[in-house]
Amino acid sequence: PSPKFDHNVKPKCVNQTSSPSSQVLNPALTPPRWKEQSNMRISFKSFQLHDIALFLERKGVYVAFNQDCPNRFLAPECQSVLKTKPLSVLGKIVQIRKGKVEPNRKNLYKLAMGTDYYELIVEFLQPVENH
Tell me if 6 is assigned to some domain. Answer: no
- Residue 70, domain extent: 44-130
Tell me if 107 is assigned to some domain. Answer: yes
In the prediction, which pLDDT does 40 show?
75
Residue 103 has pLDDT above 70, yes or no: yes
Per the model's pLDDT, the better-predicted residue between 78 and 17 turns out to be 78
pLDDT in tens, 30-58: 556 555 555 678 999 999 999 999 999 99
Q: What is the pTM of this model?
A: 0.68
Tell me if 79 is assigned to some domain. Answer: yes
Residue 6 has pLDDT above 60, yes or no: no
How far lies 43's CA from each of 18, 91, 117, in Å? Answer: 31, 11, 17
How many structural domains comprise the chain? 1
Tell me if 82 is assigned to some domain. Answer: yes
In the prediction, which pLDDT does 31 show?
59
How far lies 80's CA from each of 75, 121, 127, in Å? Answer: 9, 12, 14
Tell me if 111 is assigned to some domain. Answer: yes
Tell me if 9 is assigned to some domain. Answer: no
Tell me if 31 is assigned to some domain. Answer: no
